[in-house]
Amino acid sequence: MIDTNIENNFRHIRPYLGILLVGSMALGFGFIVTSAAKQLAQAIEPIASDIEGALTLVSSETVRYGDTVSYKAAVNNLTKGTSNIYITTVCFQGETMVFQKSVTQGISVRLYDQMVSEYEWNGEDASCTAALLYRTSASDIHQVILVDSVSFDVLAR
């Protein structure tokens, strides 16, 4: 005969519930530690270590606030798959960042006040650096490699 009383049935399985709970927690913790160790190993070992390239500013004249600049980028030894090449331009007035923009190859960058509170450029002189970056993904790991950079000054309007 089957006992349909829930309290009686629960009393019989209660000692096993604690064992199942502890076992499940230990198994979950083991998976988390294994995943973290795998990600750490991938982060320490470079995904693409032989990337080479060059970045040059395409400008024969003085660069002024409001001008648009272009870059010539060349990158060798690219791996196929999920990877991107982009150029990030940052400009500073002393210690204060006044401009930041990232673009893909072939896109020009206009140097002006972007009207965002983080970067307020008053149109005065600034020192800029453009960085050629290679971003690649493998599994859940993303890596960004600095390939080359070029620095230049921007004069007031």
pLDDT digits (tens, 9 = 90+) for 83-124: 788 999 999 999 999 999 999 888 999 999 888 778 889 999
Q: Which CATH architecture group holds 52-154?
A: Sandwich (2.60)
pLDDT digits (tens, 9 = 90+) for 113-123: 888 778 889 99
pTM to 2 decimal places: 0.65
In the chain, beta strands by DSSP E:
52-58, 68-76, 83-93, 96-104, 109-110, 126-138, 141-154
